[in-house]
Amino acid sequence: MIRFRNPGTQYTTQVQVFRELYKEYKDAPSFDLDDMAATIAKTKLMTAYGYAGDAALALSNTENDSLNSTKMNAKMYAEVFRLLGWVTSAGDNSYPLVFTYIGEHAALADDVLPLYEQCVLGINNPQEIMDVKYDEKVRFFKATLFSLQDLGGIMYKHELCLGPMSIDDLDKSQYNRMITYLKKLRGSYGRYQDAYQALCDDLGVKPTLPDNSTRLPIAFMKTCGWVESQRTRKLYPPKSLECLCLTQHGADLANSLREVKDLRMDEYYSYPEHTRNSLIRLGVYSMLLRAGYDTSPVQETMRQDQVVCADVLNGKELLFSPYQTLHRSVVDEALGIHREIAGTQTHTDVLPDIKRTDANVNNICLTISTNGAHSTSDVEVNSFVQQVLDAKSVGERKKDIIDKIFDDSITDTQTKFYPLVAMLFRVMGLDCQASRPGDNGARWDAIIVDSEESIPIEIKSPTEEQHLSLKAIRQALENKVILLSRGTHPTLPETTSLAVGYYLPNDRAEVTNLMSDFKTAFGYNIGIIDLKTLLTIAVTIVYDEKTFDISELNRLEGFANATFN
């Protein structure tokens, strides 16, 4: 059974730790676990014995590395970043580490989530990048998405251990036996308990170890918006268990994965060197392309490599993550990357920049100015203001406050999320009220009321969809049309109509094209705001005692990005 380490499983913490490490060591020839522990402790992203910073380092410093909590935490993060293909060994030993070409993109991206999703998909076994080796030959997350589809769109966490973690997924007969086995277990909590205990006995481990191995993959899948939690007695009655339900995004992704060429290490090594180098380049550039990067600087290289690999691909898109499968030196050489070490700095001759497409950076800046203020007679607003000020008074950074509220909202339903969004707009000084969920008489989920330019808001809670969908954008257009038609609130044709969700859409290029079509056909602006941006504005208004200028919101077209003067 393949196993996953269990560091902090929150996506925002993982990304923040990685960015701090990149900031600190991007110009160094390499870095080790002591370097990582020092940086993580210094930025207070990790505690030991209730302390952070230098105190945490001092208290956890022992001669026995296995008892050094800060170093062990650093090691777990290192292994996660290695799994994602963001760091890899500098030489033949596990440590020290260097950043990969994909890792550089992850560290520098404004929104790393689309690339993060591709890297989660890229995790596979066997590979050459991890010390621990497993017998199973599996692309775990692809196998899990397929299993979810074949098991009625729902799985209990320990079924991951009994199923996708314990099979060779390219062996169709083995995969089918696994699905049949799990189906036969269902319907009886006793049968499940016996099966899980038998697995633990076969592995020679306590039941907590396989259970802990599910935490990181579940966090990966929830962050990517592939699954969401649902408590039910249907799988293993009479016990009520919190299970994983496949989302629409997860189902769409699973369907698309059935049409790709999934290349694994064994097959890779069966081809001649010239073909292998082409496969490496196509694998890396295809990941970046799917993550929304503009690959036009290497378009001709990709075309030539597709010709070389035509018999391998058979007209399909390539799913292959070289930095998560092969030794870094092999991948760098195929990409034409040369790392020249001089003194204490490393100079990398990288390929032409691959930037995000215009579709992904078509952002409108919302700026802090000197007029407007939140209401002081609003109970919900006052509660939020006090929460921010209390956190500030005990030394919490603004970013930490934003991240905590953001992370705490991941499981919000409509009933909680819609009023939260409306309240944040009121913190910005706007007259905004949410409609009651299920109120069919109110076409929009919330509305900003203004004497001249009222703004309808389409909201999607994270339990409805974590990433705003094309459907949400279409509904924002419908809201605008209905508001203008019915005239219930004053507005103008050029005033924006908003879509607000937990995360921005996954396919931003397609969303941008749709918004452009709406603008061309109807002349209407559609603005998109994610919760993190909304929180950034609201918390900054309170934390820094600044106020909000609504003028740019009224004409917002595209993705909102909060900047402050």
DSSP state letters, 315-377: TPPEE--GGGTS-HHHHHHHHT-EEEEETTEEEEEPPSP-PBPTTTS-EEEE-EESS----SS
- Per-residue tokens: 411: 């499981």
Query: With left for phi above 0 and alpha for psi between -120 and 50, is residue 414 left, alpha or beta?
Result: alpha
Could you tell me if 551 and 424 lie in one domain?
A: yes
- Asked, for residue 470, whether it belongs to a domain, the answer is yes
CA 404 – CA 387 distance, rounded (Å): 11
Question: Which of 288, 314, 349 is the last residue before a domain boundary?
Answer: 349
Q: 125 in a domain, yes or no?
A: no
Which is it for strands 497-501 and 455-460: parallel, antiparallel or unpaired? parallel
Q: Are 332 and 324 in contact (CB under 8 A)?
A: no
Same domain, 372 and 507: yes
Cis? peptide before 96, omega within 30° of 0:
yes
Residues 302 and 331 in one domain: yes
Q: Is the peptide bond before 126 cis (omega within 30 degrees of 0)?
A: yes
Q: Using DSSP bridges, classify how beta strands 363-366 and 345-349 pair: parallel, antiparallel or unpaired.
A: unpaired
Tell me: do 415 and 558 sit in the same domain.
Answer: yes
Q: Which amino acid, residue 303?
A: R
d(Cα 321, Cα 318) in Å, to the nearest integer? 9
Same domain, yes or no: 245 and 340: no
The 10 Å Cβ neighbour count of residue 377 is 6
Give the pLDDT of residue 358: 45
Tell me whether residue 23 is in a domain: no
- 493 and 536 co-located in one domain: yes
**Cβ proximity of 363 and 357 under 8 Å:** no
Question: Is 377 part of any domain?
Answer: yes
Q: Which two tokens mark 361?
A: 């950076």
Torsions phi, psi of 448, nearest 5?
-90, 115
Predicted structure pTM score? 0.66
Q: Could you tell me if 260 and 240 are in contact, meaning their C-beta atoms sit under 8 angstroms apart?
A: no
Record the tokens describing residue 559, joined without a space. Answer: 């993705």
CA distance 202 to 44: 41
3-state secondary structure of 445: coil
Q: Kindly report the CATH number assigned to the domain that includes residue 453.
A: 3.40.91.30
Domain boundary among 295, 317, 349: 349
Residue 111 phi, psi dihedral angles, 5° rounding: -130, 105
Let me know whether 404 and 478 are in one domain. Answer: yes
Within a 13 Å sphere around the CA of 247, how many CA atoms are in the beta-carbon half? 20
Instruction: Go through 56-74 and write b for each residue having 16 or more CB atoms within 10 A of its CB, e for each that does not.
Output: bbebbeeeeeeebbbbbbb
CA dist 401 to 41, 109, 422, 540, Å? 19, 22, 19, 10
Peptide bond into 238 cis (omega under 30): yes
> Which domain range does residue 313 map to?
261-349
d(CA 102, CA 105): 5
266 & 399 share domain: no
Do residues 300 and 213 share a domain?
A: no
Residues 433 and 520 in one domain: yes
Q: Which two tokens stand for residue 513?
A: 């094209």
DSSP state, residue 65? G
What are the residues whose beta carbons fall under 8 Å from the beta carbon of 208, sequence distance 6 or more? none
What 3-state DSSP class applies to 428?
A: coil
The answer to the question of residue 406 being in a domain is yes
Select from 325, 349, 373 the last residue of a domain.
349
In a domain, 441, yes or no: yes
Same domain, 151 and 266: no
Whether residue 172 lies inside any domain: the answer is yes
| Of 117, 212, 132, the residue nearest 506 (C-alpha) | 117
| pLDDT value of position 508 | 66
CB 220 within 8 A of CB 164: no
* Residue 422 domain flag: yes
Reported as type and span, the H/E element at residue 172 is helix 172-185
Separation between Cα atoms, residue 227 and residue 147, nearest integer Å: 12
Over the chain (565 residues), what is each successive 10-residue block's mean pLDDT?
A: 73 87 92 92 60 47 56 88 95 92 90 91 94 88 97 97 95 96 96 96 94 93 91 95 93 93 97 98 94 86 96 96 96 86 50 46 44 66 94 91 91 92 93 74 86 94 88 93 92 94 78 82 91 91 79 82 60
What lies within 8 Å, CB to CB, of 245 at 6+ separation is 153, 154, 227, 228, 229, 230
In the chain, the number of structural domains is 3
- Residue 179, Cβ density class (10 Å: 0-12 exposed, 13-18 middle, ≥19 buried): middle
- Same domain? 203 vs 241: yes
Question: Judging by beta carbons within 10 Å of its beta carbon (0-12, 13-18, 19+), is residue 209 exposed, middle or buried?
Answer: middle
Q: Which of 122, 192, 124, 166 is nearest to 174 (CA)?
A: 166
Half-sphere exposure of 261 (CA within 13 A, CB side): 19
